[in-house]
Amino acid sequence: MNQQLLDRIVINPNVMVGKPVIRGTRIPVELIVRMMAQGITETEILEEYPQLTVADIQAALLYAANVVAHEEILPLSPTIA
């Protein structure tokens, strides 16, 4: 199921400068995640972007979660005062 959702996300250097977008659109994953973070509901997003589906929104959130989960964290060395 997760891979089917992630297959909805594409990266093409000729579309939105290579940002991840929903397949078949120019709607960036980032836009969907930001809208959700601002409290915009799924219903409102779907009304604003009728070409999207609930699965597209789920795919965007899953993609973002995967990016954060695999983010490399480098500890900062403490500064000496």
Estimate to the nearest angstrom the gap between the alpha carbon of 66 and the chain centroid.
Answer: 10
Domain 2-69 has CATH 3.40.630.30: no
Distances (CA, A) of 76 to 1, 11, 24, 28: 37, 31, 40, 31
pTM given for the model? 0.84
Looking up tokens 């983010």 gives 71
Q: For residue 45, what pLDDT band results from cuts at 50, 70 and 90?
A: very high
The pLDDT score that the predictor gives to residue 79 is 67
DSSP state of 15: S
Q: For residue 31, what pLDDT band results from cuts at 50, 70 and 90?
A: very high
Between 75 and 34, the higher pLDDT residue: 34
Q: For residue 81, what pLDDT band results from cuts at 50, 70 and 90?
A: low
